[in-house]
Amino acid sequence: MFPGPSSFPMIKVTALTKSIATSTHRVDILNGLDFEVPKGEFVAIMGPSGSGKSTLLGLLAGLDSPTSGSIQLDGEEIAGLAEDQMAAVRGRKIGFVFQSYNLIPTLTAEENVLLPYELAGGNGVGRERARQLLTTVGLLDRAEHYPVQLSGGEQQRVALARAFIVRPPILLADEPTGNLDSANGQIVLDLLIDMNRRENTTLVLVTHDRELASHADRIITLKDGHIVSDERRV
Amino acid sequence: MTASQFSWRTASKIAWREARASTIKFTFVILAVAVGVGALTGVRGFSRAFHQMLVREARTLIAADLSVRSFQLATPDQEAMMDRLAKQGIDHTWITETISMAAVEGKTPTLVSVKAVDPSKYPYYGTVQLEPPAPLSTALTRDTVAVSEDLLLRLDLKIGDAIRLGGQPFRIAAVVQQEPDRMSGSLNVGPRVMVTRDGLERAGLMIPGSRAAERYLFRIPPAVNVEQVRANLKSAFPEALIADFRQAHPAIERGLEEATTFLSLVSLISLIVGAIGVGTAIRAHLDQRLDSIAIMKCLGARSSQIMRIYVIQTVVLALIGSGLGILVGLFVQLVFPFLIAKYFSIRPGLTLDWVPAAQGIGIGLLTSLLFTVPPLLGIRRIRPNLIFRREMTESKPSWRERIRNGRGTAIAFVVLVVALGIIAGSLTSAPPREAIRIGSYFVGGVVVSLLALSAVAWILLRVLRQLNQQMIAVPSFIRHGVANIYRPGNHAEAILVALGVGVMFTLTVYIVQRGLIADMSRTAPPGMPNVFLLDVKQSDAQPILQLLKAQPGIERGPDLIGTVAARIDNINGAPLRRENLKGFARRFTYTRPVGAVDSKPGYSDVVQGAWWEPTADTSNVCASDEAAKTLKLKPGDRIEWSIGARKLSTKVACVVKIDPIHLMGRLDFLFDRRMLEGLPVIYYGSVRMNPPDVARMQVQMYRKFPTVTVMNVADVLKIIQDVVDQISIQVRFISAFAILAGVIILASSVAGSRFRRVREVVILKTLGASRSRIAKTFSVEFLILGGVAGLMGSLLALAFSALVLKRLLKADVNFEPWIYVVAIAASALLANAAGWLASYRILGQKPLEALRDE
């Protein structure tokens, strides 16, 4: 009855458009995108600045609403959901890794990791999992530190741990190594791929970096709001 | 564990840590709340303590178990009732209070309040403290008086000297330090002179019909039912004010309630200013936390979950502020007795009363939350994509969204207004309908003031900005200082409104007070009498008129009218019922003076009907237009009267309008003199004379007619001015809290922009700016903020006070520029002090330290 795990589309985008109307003219950012991402796949989205890749990621995360078209996450239509409903979907289904880490400055590393779990109303074992994840990213000894006391690389590793805390089926990453030097970038990337494999997460990564994209199962390239190529690596 | 429990805990954690990082800013917020709550709990705490004292000391305050106050001498029936009560062991004593003249040779006679007592009985409770110490019963005899200290000062007397009362000599036996029932007494308009009943008789001050206050004090044995005694006395003295020890004195209690309501509402204004501060601080705080909020939204937080953080912060800040406010309230309670010491010598004890404390905390919390709702609602509008990538263009909200957002704000505004109205109404002790009315007026006033202030602030800020851009010639530190004001995140509008409210309110009170006094002492309208004569016997009327006419300096008059105390029984057969009349109209149910005239006074106009013919029968009366309006009288109506034991039936012949500057204008009914023949007629006189000649006339008058009371308006004015000053000081004391709250908000806002200021200072220093230059820039900013707030407050105070004086008090408005200059300067200096208090440490910042911190 149900499609198999690998063929089941975790993300299904149909005829997706996004345009912005200003007082004088109308800018089309995305022009009717169609694609599916099966569960467990690692997709890199590439393209030059202004190609619409960040807008796409934002729409996938429900941070903005599309002008038309549909986005289904794990079979659930998210276009047109109200703000709070969308927040709930994010809390359950989406993990985030940002370019600029975006940890809450007033919470410790461990509390930051725990936050999505708490927001989703987790039932008490979260702390243990948070510590496990901090161990995985090699920062258990910094659990009580505040973001300002951590280096950029460390902050991003905390952000990674945070992204996985609720075992989201989808992980969205926006230039996760963009603010890091190459050594730290490599550590974060390795962790990201490793954890993605381990948790069997569907990973969508937006990047400029061809080297980073080369680790993906599939690369979708955007230009002027169109998909110009969609290549699967064997 | 449920989602909400968990989120509350996390929310508390975040709330606590964020607050810790904003200690200075939040400290000011706490102070702002504390000031408002302090004013409120202080006023209400004092009022409650005062009320409790009234109840606790009820016996002492009336010097008896029960007191009956009436403005008529007891009738034979009433005497009989008191005799019957005496047979049950209920003792009573009679006290008469009146005003008269006291004189010594070579001095102008002075107005005194005379109190005649039976020292063997009075007071039943409490003691009359005399100096030199002696029991009242030994000090006071037929030939002696006990007087207050101020009479000795005024007439340059000492104990043992003689004064004249009604022309009769009395020896001053002692100074009255304290009398227990002074607060519940009547006619306390001049220095006290206490005499015995015999002494009063000897002085001959009391003539039939003169307006004195008679009090009968009763001592009731414990076994006797007080309620029964009270009921008996009420039926015997239907017009009297009866007080007994089981309750606080009704007259004082009413005054206390009214004062409490008024001052509570004034305090509520300070609290609202404080709450505006909380709202502004939370808004500024949220502006700085946009990123955190967006991140949390990205991580799946619902707006309601995030709001919890800031609700918790607000609640905690408001609670701490309110708690501190209770301490401030104790200080207010401590100061208050000094402000009213002149009239109420008894001090209620200083206790921490939980009722006003709980009320203060509740209202402090609620008001703070109410003003935090609008910024909190803004959390819903913070979009998570803010953090995701800043270059991601924010699409314009759709129509639907905008309406939805606007709807939330509109609902919040309505809730705020309604809730403030309910709070204001709950602070009154009035019945629900009246409380709703007061609450609505209060909220209406507050909303109008705030909107007006916001509008003025908006305009002034725009003007300032325009000016600043064109002022290229002025030194750059001034331009920088001015630019600081309208910089984003500076909340200049909120500061101006908060500080402006305080200035406006305090200034309005002051201007109204001055206007009122100026209006009273103004000589306009010309011809208005400035000397009044009270209690003139019929036989003295003509000689007194002669004496007055012979005086130098008479500008108008003299005018002498005869009156008789009469009460309306019924109109056209329908009894006049108190229940059917409202407010001031109820006076018609009491015994009041009516005029006795021979013919139509020259300064009156008949507006309905016709004046009676000299040959007509004697039963005609004319009603004043005001009485006719209130009682719905028209010519031909029949009115039945009681004058003492006599019943009279009259017919309304006309309705007259009498020039109010004449004494006659104060009377509601004019009778044909022939009808009042044989009744005790008392004359009242008025005259307008050159002020320097008044004293000479008083001396002559006293020599010939020592029982006639001469009231010099100038003296009375001084007494009234004293009372108005005293009231005004209390009101200003409480309204000053609003200024304080406004200043604290300014400090809070300056502290809130600390990081920005540090950065600025550091950059300026790096670029070579000296400390003094930076200090000047900041000072310009603070001075202008305060000055503009002062200007706004002044403008609105000018408008409000004109409205109050013209419309409510029918007084003239005087424009005195210096008041506003002082207000603006004081406001500017205050703002400068507060601004520096919150930022002086910034100036010493070493550039390298700050740059390294980044």
Least confident of A171-180, B297-306, B742-751, B841-850: B841-850
Q: Is the dihedral of CA B685, B690, B691, B692 positive or negative?
A: negative
Residue B521: per-residue pLDDT:
65
Looking at chain B, which residue has its C-alpha nearest residue A63?
A: B385
Rounded CA gap, A162 and B100, in Å? 90
Q: Which of B305, B385, B388 sits opposite A119 (nearest CB)?
A: B305
pLDDT in tens, B65-117: 999 988 888 888 888 888 988 898 889 999 998 888 888 888 888 888 899 99
pLDDT band at B405 (very low <50, low <70, confident <90, very high): low
CB contact under 8 A, A54 and B295: no
Least confident of B531-540, B696-705, B757-766: B757-766
SS3 of residue B68 by DSSP: strand
B404 touches chain A (CB under 8 A): no
B299 touches chain A (CB under 8 A): yes
Residue A208: per-residue pLDDT:
85
Chain A residues close to B14, C-beta within 8 Å: 104, 106-107
Looking at chain A, which residue has its C-alpha nearest residue B290?
A: A104
Q: What average pLDDT does range B477-486 have in this prediction?
A: 80
Q: Give the gap in angstroms from C-alpha A204 to the nearest C-alpha of chain B.
A: 15
Q: What percent of chain B has pLDDT over 70?
A: 92
Looking at chain A, which residue has its C-alpha nearest residue B22?
A: A106
Looking at chain A, which residue has its C-alpha nearest residue B9?
A: A118
Of B753 and B262, the one with more pLDDT? B262
**Optimal mutation site among B4, B17, B298, interface A, most CBs of chain A within 10 A:** B298
Chain B residues close to A124, C-beta within 8 Å: 1
Amino acid sitting at position B479: R
CB contact under 8 A, A119 and B299: yes
Based on DSSP, count helices (H) and strands (E) in chain B, helices before strands. 25, 21
Query: Residues of A at the B interface (Cβ-Cβ below 8 Å)?
Result: 20-21, 27, 29, 54-55, 57-58, 61, 63-64, 83-84, 87-92, 94, 96, 98-99, 102-107, 111, 115-116, 118-124, 162, 166, 174
Name B615's Cβ contacts closer than 8 Å, sequence gap at least 6. Answer: none
Rounded CA gap, B609 and B627, in Å? 15
* Phi, psi torsion values for A222, nearest 5 degrees: -105, 145
Q: Give the gap in angstroms from C-alpha B25 to the nearest C-alpha of chain A.
A: 17
Pairs of residues, one from chain A and one from chain B, whose beta carbons lie less than 8 Å apart: 111
For residue B603, pLDDT beyond 50: yes
Name B140's Cβ contacts closer than 8 Å, sequence gap at least 6. Answer: B117, B119, B146, B173, B194, B195, B196, B199
pLDDT band at B2 (very low <50, low <70, confident <90, very high): very low
**Optimal mutation site among B1, B23, B299, B853, interface A, most CBs of chain A within 10 A:** B299
pLDDT band at B347 (very low <50, low <70, confident <90, very high): low
Looking at chain A, which residue has its C-alpha nearest residue B383?
A: A63
Q: Which of B17, B305, B385 sits opposite A106 (nearest CB)?
A: B17
B22 touches chain A (CB under 8 A): no
B809 touches chain A (CB under 8 A): no
CB count, 10 Å around CB of B783? 18
SS3 of residue A63 by DSSP: coil
Residue B489: per-residue pLDDT:
66
Chain A residues close to B395, C-beta within 8 Å: 20-21, 64
B383 touches chain A (CB under 8 A): yes
For residue B393, pLDDT beyond 60: no
Residue B361: per-residue pLDDT:
92
Closest of A156, A145, A165 to residue A102, by C-alpha: A156
Residue B396: per-residue pLDDT:
56
Q: What average pLDDT does range B472-482 have in this prediction?
A: 78
Residue B319: per-residue pLDDT:
93
Looking at chain A, which residue has its C-alpha nearest residue B391?
A: A54
Looking at chain A, which residue has its C-alpha nearest residue B308?
A: A119
pLDDT in tens, B158-169: 889 999 888 889
* Axis-axis angle for helices B713-752, B303-339 (nearest 10): 150
Q: Which of A21, A61, A84 sits opposite B303 (nearest CB)?
A: A84
Dihedral in degrees, nearest 10, Cα atoms B162, B165, B166, B169:
-20
Q: Which of A29, A87, A89 sits opposite B297 (nearest CB)?
A: A87
Structure tokens given for B641: 């009267």
Least confident of A211-215, B261-265, B368-372, B577-581: B577-581
Burial environment of residue B207 by CB neighbours within 10 A (0 to 12, 13 to 18, 19 or more): middle
**Optimal mutation site among A63, A84, A146, interface B, most CBs of chain B within 10 A:** A63
ipTM score: 0.79
pLDDT in tens, B691-744: 888 888 888 888 888 888 888 877 777 777 777 777 788 888 888 888 888 888
Residue B527: per-residue pLDDT:
66
**Pairing verdict, β B531-537 and B620-624:** unpaired
Chain A residues close to B392, C-beta within 8 Å: 54-55, 58, 64
Per-chain mean pLDDT for chain B:
83
B395 touches chain A (CB under 8 A): yes
Closest of B530, B534, B603 to residue B563, by C-alpha: B534
pLDDT in tens, B10-43: 788 888 888 887 788 788 889 989 999 999 998 8
Q: Which of A27, A57, A90 sits opposite B300 (nearest CB)?
A: A90
Rounded CA gap, B424 and B228, in Å? 39
To which H or E segment does residue A10 belong?
strand A9-21
Q: Which of A29, A87, A174 sits opposite B300 (nearest CB)?
A: A87
pLDDT, tens digit only, all 234 positions of chain A:
333 335 678 999 999 999 887 767 788 889 999 999 999 899 999 998 888 888 898 888 888 888 899 999 988 898 888 877 888 888 888 888 888 888 888 788 998 898 888 877 776 678 888 999 999 889 999 998 988 889 988 999 999 999 888 888 999 998 888 888 888 888 888 888 888 888 889 999 998 888 888 989 999 999 988 999 999 876
Burial environment of residue B853 by CB neighbours within 10 A (0 to 12, 13 to 18, 19 or more): exposed
B12 touches chain A (CB under 8 A): no
Looking at chain A, which residue has its C-alpha nearest residue B20?
A: A106
pLDDT in tens, B796-833: 888 888 888 887 777 777 788 898 999 999 999 988 99
Looking at chain A, which residue has its C-alpha nearest residue B2?
A: A121
Residue B716: per-residue pLDDT:
74
pLDDT band at B676 (very low <50, low <70, confident <90, very high): confident
pLDDT in tens, B310-338: 899 899 999 999 999 999 998 888 887 77
B295 touches chain A (CB under 8 A): yes
pTM of the model: 0.76
CB contact under 8 A, A55 and B392: yes
Of B347 and B235, the one with more pLDDT? B235
Residue A7: per-residue pLDDT:
60
Q: Which of B296, B384, B393 sits opposite A20 (nearest CB)?
A: B393
